[in-house]
Each structure stands twice: as structure tokens, then as C-alpha cells.
Amino acid sequence: MTKSKTAEKATATAESALESGTAAIKTGMEKALKGYDAFVGYGKDTAEAVTKSATTAGKGFETINSEIYSYSKSSIEDAVAASKTLLGSKSVHEAFEFQTDFAKSAFEAYVAEVSKISELATATTKDIYAPFKGRVQAWLDTVSAVRAA
């Protein structure tokens, strides 16, 4: 073989290797960009879930706080009214009966309020975590899709 044929063959081999390398790099970059886009999309969806969850938490805590405030205010007003009535009793027996009835109704109101707040807290907790439902599966789907590409 002559020097020029050897040089041509070496040049052709180098060009072929360069083209193959360029194609492999291009394919790899396209896969990487698709994977990056998939992960960015997952991150965006997760950020939206966090925002929705935080908003729900704020509203839920506000509702619970408002309920506790209303109950406390009502309870204090009832206690003041009961004290006035108790002081206006005509006999010890009447005062004792009134106090017993008041204690019973105050306890029933307290139990009802605790139950109501418990239900509100449970509902709020479910609502807070609802936006995250499916995020683990979405992560697994994203990773699987990127691996398959």
C-alpha cells in the first residue's frame, strides 16, 4: 500500500470515528435532556403539591383556631352567667342543683367541642396530605421512563 492510500484509509477511519462519536454524543445529550425535562416536570408537580398542601394547612388551622376561640368565648360567657345565677340563688339547695346542672352541661359541651375539633383536625390532616398522594408513584414512573429512554 502506498503512503497516500494509507493516509486516505486513516483519514476515512478518523472521519468515521468522529461521525460515530458525534452521533453517540448527540444521542446521549438528547436522552439526558429528555431525562432532565422529566425530572423538572416531576419537581414542578411536587412544588405545586407542596403549595397546595401548605395552603390547605393554613386554612385548616385557621378553622380549628376559630372554632377554639368561639368555644372559649362561649364557655366564658356561660360561666359568667352561671356565676351570676348562682350568686342570686335563694337557698343552698337551689345553688347546689344549679351548679350540678351547669357542670353537667359544661362537661357535655366540652366533650362535644373536643369531638368537633378532633374531626376538624383529622379532616385537615387528610386534606394536607392529599396533594402528595401519588407523588411516590409519579417518581417511580419518571425514573422508569428515563431509564427506558
Query: Is 140 contained in some domain?
Result: yes
66 occurs within a structural domain: yes
Does 4 map to a domain? no
Is residue 123 situated within a structural domain? Answer: yes
Within a domain: 2: no
Range of the domain at 106: 40-148
The C-alpha atoms of residue 117 and residue 114 are separated, in whole angstroms, by: 5
Number of folded domains that form the chain: 1
Would you say residue 8 lies in a domain? no
126 within domain boundaries: yes
Could you report the per-residue pLDDT of 10-65, keeping only the tens digit for each? 677 777 777 777 777 777 777 777 777 777 888 888 889 999 999 999 999 999 99
Q: What is residue 88's three-state secondary structure? A: coil
Indicate the pTM of the whole model: 0.68
* In the predicted structure, residue 86 carries a pLDDT above the cut 60: yes
Burial of 26 (0-12, 13-18, 19+ CB in 10 A): exposed
